[in-house]
A and B are shown apart, each in its own frame.
Chain A
Amino acid sequence: MSKRLILPLLLLLALPARADFRDVERTLRSQLGSPMYIPLLGVARFATWIVHPHGVRDFQLATWEGNSHAMSMGGADLERLLQRGLTPDYQPLVRVRSRGEWTFIYARPIGSRFEIMLLTHDHSDTVLVRADIDAEQLGRAVSERKIAGMR
């Protein structure tokens, strides 16, 4: 029993609370309902926080699947929801619309790293990702072709 308590407590202490992600997620939740439960996502995040694979220091993820309300939402509505939860230092980096699919990437620098907030949406599925990335470390990984499919 004590082990069951220790792991969640450890995760709570180790993982910093991210107001921006939570704010965006809360805004989306008001329109799309609760996101899907992803088993062991917290453990994966904890591992990322320790290992920093390819310069990724932390991430958060929320997904909504098969939501009928999402079908009626346009890209402009979604971007408005996204912007409502972001602090002003986030800048739009990429916007893509392709046959009913929308992707928005906002980013902000934080010291030698940068943080991205990615929102992608198609007819029924919506995914929100936040990642805290070390640019130089990721750049090195790309240069050394450690990441499959890049370069």
Chain B
Amino acid sequence: MKKLFVLAILACVTAPAYAQRLTLDIPGLAERASEVVDVTLDGPLLRMAAKFLSSSEPDERAARDIVQKLEGIYVKSYSFDKAGEYDAAIVDRLRAQLSSWKKIVTVRERMGDNTDVYVQMRGEEVVGLAIINAEPRELTVVNIVGPIDLDKLSRLEGQFGIPKMRGKHNE
């Protein structure tokens, strides 16, 4: 759940302009999961969410500027009682939706935790971001639709629970 929160915040902080919204619903998976979390934040509610961020703190102001330009933040997370309760092919199907996107980060850990970060480009601009975090007992997908400034994103590393990406293995 903590990781989900970090991913959701990462998504809020990073997401930019008009990108494709991914299909995060995976038929049959919710029934097998012990916990399912589905977050939909778009339209006027997203504008409202930006107001939670302070305009006096520089980092929060930067995050607020980013969030205000976004179209939507969508998170879907499935947790399972035992490892291997979901088919790895599901992750492949999710990745297949991202064939026209650019993968910018791949993390593979010994314990089976895999994270992929994709961006959708329109010209020079990043207009969408997707994060797939697949662990033996948890699958989380984050989709941010809208323009994202990656420079600002790097400023926010280590803030608000956003992990520092240095030291991760970039592909």
Q: Report yes or no: A142 in contact with B52, Cβ–Cβ below 8 A.
A: yes
Is B52 a contact partner of A138 (Cβ separation < 8 A)? yes
Q: Is residue A85 within 8 Å, beta carbon to beta carbon, of the partner chain?
A: no
Given contacts A93-B40, A93-B45, 16 further A-B contacts (CB under 8 A): A91-B40, A92-B40, A93-B39, A93-B41, A94-B38, A94-B39, A95-B36, A97-B35, A98-B34, A98-B35, A109-B44, A114-B45, A135-B51, A136-B51, A138-B52, A143-B60
Contact with B along A98-141 (1 / 0, CB 8 A): 11000000011100101000000000000000000001101110
**What is the bound-complex CA distance between A58 and B60, given in angstroms?**
27
Q: Among A93, A96, A139, which residue has its beta carbon within 8 angstroms of that of B35?
A: A96
Taking the complex as formed, is B48 at the interface, i.e. its CB lies under 8 A from any CB of chain A? yes
Chain A residues with CB under 8 Å of B39's CB are 93-94
Contact of B151 with A by CB under 8 A: no
In this complex, which of B34, B36, B51, B57 has the most chain A Cβ atoms within 10 angstroms of its Cβ?
B51
- The minimal Cβ–Cβ distance linking A25 to chain B, given in whole angstroms, is 23
Contact B48 A140 (CB under 8 A): no
Bound: A143/B60 CA distance, A: 10
Interface residue B53 (Cβ < 8 Å from any Cβ of A) = yes
